[in-house]
């Protein structure tokens, strides 16, 4: 791929939107935030969150969680199985859209915790694009070397096609769910 937009730059210049400067951020782990553990139930709490003086709601990953090498019965939300879907345990794409719309109606911004460094072992990319993953000296996928994270495997960002697809995934949530940004 020779598209210059997906080639590494020697440095990246970031500009932060004005709404993010000096903002109060409230993080939600949706499945533990309410008894139901759903986006709908979390949306019911948005007026209370707004009353706390919050400006931005930061949702932990909302994607389906991998099953291969899963940690515990629920798994880690950082073991993303599909970058283009909502975890059915949390609700539907429509539930996410409704959450964002309600937040916006209250003057809140919504950002997603984006998992860009690694995926679950059963992410579709593992079989469709194995070249997008880091390999060990035996040319095998390896879990990230940090702590006890053997439920995930690292991506290889030296591959321009991976960068292009990750960009597509990021843009998807902005266009489909009206997400305001990412962490």
37-64 pLDDT per residue, tens: 999 999 999 999 999 999 999 999 999 9
The strand pair at 181-182 and 109-112 is best described as parallel
Q: Where are the alpha helices (DSSP H) in the chain?
A: 30-33, 39-43, 46-51, 93-105, 124-128, 160-177
Q: What is the pLDDT of residues 104-114, one digit of tens each?
A: 999 999 999 99
Percent of the chain with pLDDT over 70: 95
CA 166/CA 146 separation, integer angstroms: 22
Structure confidence at residue 13 (pLDDT): 77
Q: Where are the alpha helices (DSSP H) in 71-136?
A: 93-105, 124-128
Q: Domains in the chain and their CATH numbers?
A: 19-182 (3.20.20.80)
Element (H, E) at 28: strand 25-28
């Amino acid at each position: 791929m020779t598209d210059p937009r997906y080639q590494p730059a020697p440095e990246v210049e970031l500009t932060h939107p004005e709404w993010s400067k000096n903002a109060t951020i409230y993080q939600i782990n949706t499945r533990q935030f309410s008894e139901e553990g759903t986006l709908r139930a979390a949306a019911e709490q948005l007026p209370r969150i707004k009353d706390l003086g919050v400006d931005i709601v930061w949702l932990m990953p909302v994607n389906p969680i991998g099953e291969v090498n899963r940690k515990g019965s629920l798994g880690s939300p950082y073991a993303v199985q599909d970058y283009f879907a909502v975890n059915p345990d949390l609700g539907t794409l429509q539930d996410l859209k409704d959450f964002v719309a309600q937040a916006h109606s209250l003057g809140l911004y919504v950002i997603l915790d984006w998992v860009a460094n690694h995926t679950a072992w059963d992410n579709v990319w593992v079989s469709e694009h194995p070249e997008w993953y880091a390999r060990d000296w035996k040319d095998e996928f390896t879990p990230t070397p940090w702590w006890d994270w053997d439920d995930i495997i690292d991506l290889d960002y030296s591959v321009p096609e991976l960068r292009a697809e990750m960009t597509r995934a990021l843009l998807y949530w902005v266009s489909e769910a009206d997400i305001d940004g990412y962490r």
